[in-house]
Amino acid sequence: MPLEKLIPLCKEFGVMTLIDGAHAPGQIPLNLKELDADFYSGNLHKWLYTPRGCAILYVKKKHQDWVRPTVTSHGYKTTFQNDFFKQGTRDDSPYCVVPEAIQFYTDLGGYEKIRVYTDDLLNTSTELLTSSWKTEKLQIPKSMEAPFMRLVRLPELKQTSMKSIDDGERRIVEIIVNHGIVPCITFVDGKVYCRLSANVYNTKDDYQILCDLVLKMIDK
């Protein structure tokens, strides 16, 4: 999304902006000060190597006197950070490893080196799947393509009808249980797509396994 254009436009009309950047930290270069949204949230466990349940919430300073957490606990109305600090029995350990996760990300070579690896892997794997399945990847502008993800249309699978997200989720559970593969199935304009993700721990073999499994499902 062209947030750099949308945020100033919203400001013109007095509209506050809250950006759901769930997949952004670690997957794209991110400068919250330059972006200048009123609020921004993003997960660190998706692409920045922290444990699950680790995210950031950015609130512009002028809003910090009225934004409150949903859980009222120790630190209430002392400082903005203290207000959010103690959230009952929440496990805070994922937040403790953020500095190490960022260092690990840097030690891998940072964004550019990771992007080069994933881009090559995804391009090769997308070609493998589309040629084997006789389908195509989602046709979107390159500027809107997530660096570490691709969408490849699934072929028609015999004995399997996927007409909704619920149908897709049921099929996902079955695939995970029976084959140990975790696919992400989504729908675009009524067509079923498989969302591919790639990171430094993935290899071409992972996508070959997925490819072969779907081909078996076609033949059944």
Domain match, 86 and 182 both = no
Domain match, 207 and 125 both = yes
Domain match, 127 and 99 both = no
Question: Final residue of a domain: which of 58, 89, 107?
Answer: 107
Residue 142 has a pLDDT of 86
Residue 183 has a pLDDT of 78
Domain match, 143 and 102 both = no
Domain match, 63 and 95 both = yes
Domain match, 117 and 212 both = yes
Number of other residues whose CB lies within 10 A of the CB of residue 141: 6
Whose CA is closest to 87, among 73, 67, 68, 75?
73
CA distance 130 to 211: 9
Domain match, 67 and 144 both = no
Domain match, 63 and 146 both = no
Domain match, 145 and 213 both = yes
| CATH code of residue 128 | 3.90.1150.10
> How do beta strands 149-153 and 55-59 pair?
unpaired
Please tell me what DSSP assigns to residue 122: H
Is residue 25 within 8 A of residue 47, CB to CB? The reply is yes
| CATH code of residue 62 | 3.40.640.10
In the chain, alpha helices (H): 3-12, 32-35, 80-85, 93-96, 98-107, 110-133, 165-179, 204-219
Domain span including residue 84? 3-107
Whose CA is closest to 3, among 50, 42, 48?
42
Residue 220 has a pLDDT of 57
Question: Final residue of a domain: which of 107, 140, 156?
Answer: 107
Domain match, 93 and 124 both = no
The total of structural domains in the chain comes to 2
Question: Final residue of a domain: which of 70, 87, 107?
Answer: 107
Residues of the chain with pLDDT under 70: 157-169, 171-172, 219-220
Domain match, 120 and 203 both = yes
Instruction: Write out pLDDT tens, residues 136-178.
Output: 999 998 888 899 999 999 988 665 566 666 666 676 677 777 7
Side chain identity at residue 146, one-letter code: A
Residue 161 has a pLDDT of 60
Whose CA is closest to 46, among 116, 141, 149?
149
Please tell me what DSSP assigns to residue 153: E
Domain match, 116 and 70 both = no
